[in-house]
Structure 1
Amino acid sequence: MNETRELIKRLRAENGCPWDKKQTPVSMVRYLIEEAYELQEAIHGGDSQEMADELGDTWFQMVFLIHLLEEAHGLSFSEVAHANRLKMIRRHPHVFGDETADTVDEVKTHWAKIKEEEKAEKHASLLDTVTSGTPPLMRARDVSRVTAEAGFDWDDMDGVMEKVNEEWGEFNEALASGDKKAASLEFGDLLFTLVNVARFAGIDADSALSSSVAKFEKRYRLMEKLLAEKGELPDRSRSADVDAMWDRAKEHF
């Protein structure tokens, strides 16, 4: 930490880097988010060297942001870290207190109860506890989770799957009507319901989608390579080999 902090101070010094000197918390947070996504991609890719590289980049962006927040708002990293430590201890009474929790579900119950108590002290609505700046798929997951923990949920997977079929039908009706705005709204409802399916199945929708996209990219790149060796492009209208090369790529990934 100290070495990284000294590096950042040097970059922002009077004779440092013009780009680094211009950065603010607002401008820098987007780079932290980008690096976090690149780290996620590296983890899903499974390459340890890439993971280490992206983790280093994410770490640097985090420390840079801490430095900027200290400069701009007088936040003390030690105070923030101490407050977070106390919060984590408070939310793990089964480790640091007298409560017991032998299963993951019991841990979640404790966590939800404590967050409810904190919410009652700070928030007017349960949804105020959900971070508003996260990407839509992650926010859908979090909104779904906190409302379900409060008791607003389907009874079982059959119920949520029935809702998927209902939303799929409404989406198709909107498509058939030619109303793009209505179709967009229904498509959003369908996606949100599928996020709930993932929650019931114990799957993180964002991670699952990232893994699927990464798998598709690997297959497509290999298909491109196989077609290039034949002097062809991945265009079904121009090559009869596209589907065959895609099937070959699927055998590898």
Structure 2
Amino acid sequence: MNDEQMIDCPEDSQQLTRLRAIMHRLRAPGGCPWDAEQTHESLLPNLIEEAYETVDTIRRGDWEHLKEELGDLLLQVVFHSELAEEAGRYNFDDVARIVSDKLVRRHPHVYGDSAVTDTDGVLSQWDAIKRQEKGDEEEPYLHNTGKGLPAMLRASKLQKKAAKVGFDWPDDAGVIDKIREELSEVEEELESGDRERLGSEIGDLLFSVVNLARRHKLDPEILLESTNVKFETRFHAVDQSLQAEGKDLSSATLDEMEQRWQQAK
């Protein structure tokens, strides 16, 4: 089938080919003006947004909606692959091939003769193969770790990798002491009035809290988002309670809002 015939193709096994044909048509002359104007750079907000919307759907356990969000995320991969093909760099097949080759290469316990049988062994083996592939044994150990990730996720990834070579607290007590130490330093800088040093100390405090989450295999990004949702829900309840009494947020006192906050909890 040519691209035009693929547009309405109903066969399940051809849907990825159909998606690529649609994308190609949208970018072609006479297609969609918006799609035709896009670049790798202009699509970055979409890529990030779709990834986070997919994460949110999984957190909420909305499995039916997840299907749509995964489709939106897949579209971003297809879109960027189309742009690369137009530039003569590579195409979607090359993208799929490189990840398929990587999966086979990094799973010698499945596709080769490695004797690894547990999760820790698999992860250690994966890291060793990855370092060998990239030829970066001579690079600093944390070179490019988590590059491009949001800061909180990157902090966790940096800490996790450092812990693999023994750079970690022996128990939670050390982490808690570190959090208290960093909090004390924040308090000192609050009194000093030095905003730059205050910011640095707050960053250290956040890093230490992330470390506590990491040690317990908790994702700090997910934890913070859960708290965001909780805050939003409770604050909405405060707003609703005030409205029920003919008041609004702008005219309510802090004590009135705090009272309703405690009720919402």
Question: Could you state the TM-score of these two structures normalised by the residue count of structure 1?
Answer: 0.86
Three-state SS of the structure 1 residue aligned to 2:139 is: coil
Q: Deviations over 1:188-238 (max 9, x none)?
A: 111112221111111111121122212222332343334333332245844
Quote the Cα distance in structure 2 between the aligned partners of 1:14 and 1:207: 43
Larger Rg: 2
- In structure 2, the residue matched to 1:117 is 132
How far the C-alpha of 1:98 sits from its partner, in A, is 2.8
Quote the Cα distance in structure 2 between the aligned partners of 1:130 and 1:158: 27
Three-state SS of the structure 2 residue aligned to 1:209 is: helix
Closer, same or farther in 2 for the Cα pair 1:210/1:151, shift >3 Å? same
Quote the Cα distance in structure 1 between the aligned partners of 2:115 and 2:209: 33
Three-state SS of the structure 2 residue aligned to 1:118 is: helix
Structure 1 gaps, min length 5 = none
Quote the Cα distance in structure 1 between the aligned partners of 2:248 and 2:138: 56
How many correspondences in the alignment? 250
How far the C-alpha of 1:138 sits from its partner, in A, is 1.6
How far the C-alpha of 1:241 sits from its partner, in A, is 4.9
Residue in structure 1 matching 2:158, options 130, 143, 149: 143
2:172 maps to a residue whose letter is M
Residue in structure 1 matching 2:172, options 157, 161, 164: 157
Three-state SS of the structure 2 residue aligned to 1:153 is: coil
Residue in structure 2 matching 1:17, options 32, 39, 42: 32
How far the C-alpha of 1:151 sits from its partner, in A, is 3.2
Question: Could you state the TM-score of these two structures normalised by the residue count of structure 2?
Answer: 0.82
Residue in structure 2 matching 1:87, options 102, 125, 138: 102
Closer, same or farther in 2 for the Cα pair 1:184/1:19, shift >3 Å? same
Quote the Cα distance in structure 2 between the aligned partners of 1:97 and 1:165: 48
Return the structure number with greater relative CO, CA threshold 8 A, min gap 6: 1
Three-state SS of the structure 2 residue aligned to 1:75 is: coil
Quote the Cα distance in structure 2 between the aligned partners of 1:119 and 1:156: 33
Quote the Cα distance in structure 1 between the aligned partners of 2:262 and 2:32: 50
Quote the Cα distance in structure 1 between the aligned partners of 2:251 and 2:181: 34
Q: Deviations over 1:231-251 (max 9, x none)?
A: 32245844865344434433x
Closer, same or farther in 2 for the Cα pair 1:197/1:205, shift >3 Å? same
Identical amino acids, percent of aligned pairs: 39
On the 8 A contact 2:152/2:220 being kept in 1, the answer is yes
2:163 maps to a residue whose letter is A
1:70-81 pair list within 5 angstroms: 70-81=85-96
Q: Aligned pair 1:96/2:86, yes or no?
A: no
Three-state SS of the structure 2 residue aligned to 1:27 is: coil
On the 8 A contact 2:78/2:92 being kept in 1, the answer is no
Runs of 4+ residues deviating >6 angstroms: none
Quote the Cα distance in structure 2 between the aligned partners of 1:51 and 1:231: 40
On the 8 A contact 1:29/1:65 being kept in 2, the answer is no
Quote the Cα distance in structure 1 between the aligned partners of 2:242 and 2:88: 55
Three-state SS of the structure 2 residue aligned to 1:126 is: coil
Identify, as 1 or 2, the structure richer in helix.
1
Q: Aligned pair 1:59/2:105, yes or no?
A: no
Q: Aligned pair 1:45/2:57, yes or no?
A: no
Three-state SS of the structure 1 residue aligned to 2:142 is: helix
Closer, same or farther in 2 for the Cα pair 1:218/1:95, shift >3 Å? farther
Residue in structure 1 matching 2:200, options 185, 188, 213: 185
On the 8 A contact 1:171/1:187 being kept in 2, the answer is yes
